């Protein structure tokens, strides 16, 4: 293993190679790192390495041994590295200038610059992402993708305690706020090496960043400048369309604005996008409608989904606005769809927006978060029999056909294998017993047990999506969705006639 001075010199060479600093900045940067390590002298490193993970490991080990990192937990190590990397980073205004300088060449040049920058600064946890487990499942709806995301570390008791204490703090108001840029990671996720890009979308200021725990290629987040609750309306749609006008090579999507059927953060309006094609994007078209300049496609998908296409932004905004209005007030008690209980709204939507060769595409997925005595966690939500596999809410990424399974599943799959092959089930995996007893009946010893279990988890995931569908595929549901589309289309054409 190389010594601490070699690690510091290696980090400087890494930063120059990734264009974070110039040769002129070398002495200054080294001195800043030496100060953070409480080192008052310098020796030229004897052996350099270009392995960034090795460099980080040596710096962290030194900091632990010398009392600089005083607590246990990955987040404390991440916080230390974020502080170190911030030494090599330019001010946000300078990064923004470089981004828009690259944008003048092409939108892709701009996102390539910022994505590579975010990886080089260790904001995107590239090495951890390589540990993720990923497999496919061939379903009647197409090829589904399942992942066990291991990039986001499990928290130690110390980290959990500090996070609880931090809830009382009012700055920043949430983990997405623009005020997190450059913020210390004490009691929270580190953001010293975090940079965001300001951009106007539909005459409103938003900020663009990448996710540190990317679930797919170039997974980005777009957030409103002001801290305000998720509230999907026509202005949200206009912002999404404005984004794909700027970055046609990216998609952009939104969670709902309601609990139980939305993302984990409802306190700050934000969207998720990136450079990736999902299973839902490739879903078979099972029916088509045409209303003026707007084509509507019904998609074969476990959750009721329709896609609107048009070369006219004005037309697609008008059509989707009418659809949103109709859906928010839509009631069909026979299908358990109730739009409101008193003042509480239940109907919402997921949006997925793309632009290809001048044609706009908006996929809408219908959601409803109503609960009753039989289904206290949601009528259109994961059934209890599947919650040992996936207990969290089904957000937009899962809706698109990319299952994000908790990290615990990686080790629990080994327990499952042991059980279906005739062994005892370990205590940590007893929650899976009902699931395993169901699939054990059809397991044949000639099959690869791990592959068999993964296939059955794929089945569970598709069933979960079906659980969440407000139009459940019955003849009555198919007819009801068709009627909704036709009513919206007729209202759209009528409004255009008046104009």
pLDDT tens-digit profile of 441-496? 999 888 899 999 999 999 999 999 999 999 988 999 999 999 999 999 999 999 88
User: Looking at residue 45, what is its pLDDT?
Assistant: 84
| 3-class DSSP state of 11 | helix
User: Looking at residue 432, what is its pLDDT?
Assistant: 97
Name the residue among 395, 121, 378, 116 with its Cα closest to residue 253: 395
* Full domain range(s) for residue 11: 1-70
Q: 1 in a domain, yes or no?
A: yes
How far apart are alpha carbons 99 and 103 in whole angstroms?
Answer: 6
Residue 371, beta-bridge partner list: none
Q: 385 in a domain, yes or no?
A: no
Q: 30 in a domain, yes or no?
A: yes
Largest CA distance in the chain: 79
Helix (H) or strand (E) holding 272: strand 270-274
User: Looking at residue 159, what is its pLDDT?
Assistant: 47
Q: 414 in a domain, yes or no?
A: no
User: Looking at residue 361, what is its pLDDT?
Assistant: 98
The model's pTM is: 0.94
Positive or negative: CA dihedral 209, 214, 219, 225? negative
CA dist 21 → 18, 25, 399 (Å): 8, 6, 41
E runs forming strands in 48-149: 133-139, 142-148
Measured in degrees and rounded to the nearest 5, phi and psi for residue 306 equal -130, 150
User: What count of Cα atoms within 13 Å lies in the side-chain half-sphere of residue 58?
Assistant: 18
Cβ–Cβ contacts within 10 Å for residue 114, how many? 24
Measured in degrees and rounded to the nearest 5, phi and psi for residue 223 equal -125, 150
Q: Do 100 and 111 meet the contact criterion of CB atoms below 8 Å apart?
A: no
| 3-class DSSP state of 115 | helix
Strands laid side by side in the 251-254 sheet:
197-201, 204-210, 220-224, 270-274, 251-254, 347-356, 359-368, 305-310, 294-299, 285-291
Q: 379 in a domain, yes or no?
A: no
pLDDT digits 0-9 by tens, 260-286: 997 778 999 999 999 999 999 999 999
Q: How far is CA 387 from the centre of its chain?
A: 20
Pair of tokens at residue 124: 């995107």
Q: 48 in a domain, yes or no?
A: yes
Pair of tokens at residue 389: 């596999």
Q: If you write DSSP's letter for every residue of 346-361 in order, what string do you get?
A: -EEEEEEEEEETTEEE
Name the residue among 244, 232, 262 with its Cα closest to residue 323: 232
Q: 484 in a domain, yes or no?
A: no
E runs forming strands in 149-269: 197-201, 204-210, 220-224, 251-254
Q: ∠448-449-453 over CA atoms, to 5°?
A: 120
Count of the separate structural domains present in the chain: 1
Within the chain, which residues score under 70 in pLDDT? 1, 152-169, 186-187, 498-499
User: Looking at residue 163, what is its pLDDT?
Assistant: 52
Q: 463 in a domain, yes or no?
A: no
How far apart are alpha carbons 230 and 144 in whole angstroms?
Answer: 28
How far apart are alpha carbons 167 and 115 in whole angstroms?
Answer: 30
Q: What share of the chain is helix, strand, coil (3-state, %, to 5)?
A: 40, 20, 40
Where does 280-385 have alpha helices with state H? Answer: 313-328
Q: How far is CA 204 from the centre of its chain?
A: 23
Name the residue among 49, 112, 120, 113 with its Cα closest to residue 86: 120
Buried b (16+ CB within 10 A) or exposed e, 152-162: bbeeeeebeeb
């Amino acid at each position: 293993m190389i010594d601490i001075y070699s690690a510091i010199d290696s980090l400087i060479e890494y930063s120059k190679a990734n264009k974070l600093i110039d040769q002129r900045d070398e002495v200054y940067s080294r001195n800043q790192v030496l100060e953070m390590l409480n080192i008052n002298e310098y020796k030229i490193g004897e052996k350099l390495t270009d392995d960034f993970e090795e460099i980080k490991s040596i710096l962290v080990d030194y900091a632990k041994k010398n009392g600089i990192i005083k607590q246990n937990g990955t987040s404390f190590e991440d916080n230390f590295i974020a502080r170190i990397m911030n030494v090599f980073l330019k001010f946000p205004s300078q990064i923004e200038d470089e981004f828009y300088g690259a944008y003048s060449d092409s939108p892709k040049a701009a996102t390539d610059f910022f994505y590579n920058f975010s990886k080089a600064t260790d904001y995107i946890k590239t090495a951890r992402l390589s540990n993720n487990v990923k497999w496919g499942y061939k379903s009647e709806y197409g090829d589904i993708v399942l992942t066990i995301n291991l990039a986001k570390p499990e928290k130690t008791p110390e980290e959990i305690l500090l996070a609880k204490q931090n809830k009382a703090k009012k700055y920043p108001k949430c983990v997405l706020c623009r005020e997190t840029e450059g913020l210390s990671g004490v009691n929270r996720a580190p953001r010293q090496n975090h940079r965001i890009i300001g951009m106007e979308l539909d005459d409103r200021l938003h900020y663009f960043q990448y996710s540190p725990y990317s679930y797919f290629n170039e997974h980005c987040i777009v957030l409103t400048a002001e801290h305000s609750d998720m509230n999907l309306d026509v202005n949200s749609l206009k912002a999404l369309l404005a984004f794909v006008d700027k970055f046609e090579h990216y998609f952009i999507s939104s969670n709902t604005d309601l609990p139980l059927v939305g993302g984990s953060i409802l306190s700050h309006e934000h969207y998720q996008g990136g450079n990736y094609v999902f299973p839902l994007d490739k879903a078979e078209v099972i029916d088509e409608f045409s209303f003026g300049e707007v084509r509507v496609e019904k998609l074969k998908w476990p959750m009721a989904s329709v896609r609107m296409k048009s070369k006219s932004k004005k037309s697609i905004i008008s059509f989707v606005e009418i659809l949103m209005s109709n859906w928010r007030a839509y009631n069909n008690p026979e299908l358990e769809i109730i739009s409101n209980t008193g003042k509480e709204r239940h109907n919402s939507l997921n949006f997925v927006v793309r632009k290809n060769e001048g044609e706009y595409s908006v996929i809408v997925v219908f959601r409803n978060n109503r609960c009753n005595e039989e289904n206290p966690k949601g009528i259109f939500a994961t059934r209890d029999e599947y919650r040992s596999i996936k207990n969290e809410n089904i957000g937009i990424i899962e809706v698109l056909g990319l299952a994000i399974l908790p990290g615990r599943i990686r080790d629990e799959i080994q327990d499952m294998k042991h059980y279906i092959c005739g062994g005892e089930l370990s205590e940590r995996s007893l929650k899976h017993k009902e699931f395993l007893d169901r699939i054990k009946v059809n397991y044949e010893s000639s099959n690869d047990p791990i592959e068999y279990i993964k296939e059955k988890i794929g089945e569970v995931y598709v069933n979960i999506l079906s659980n969440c569908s407000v139009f459940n595929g019955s003849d009555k549901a198919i007819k009801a969705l068709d009627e909704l589309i036709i009513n919206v289309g007729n209202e759209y054409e009528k409004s255009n006639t008046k104009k």
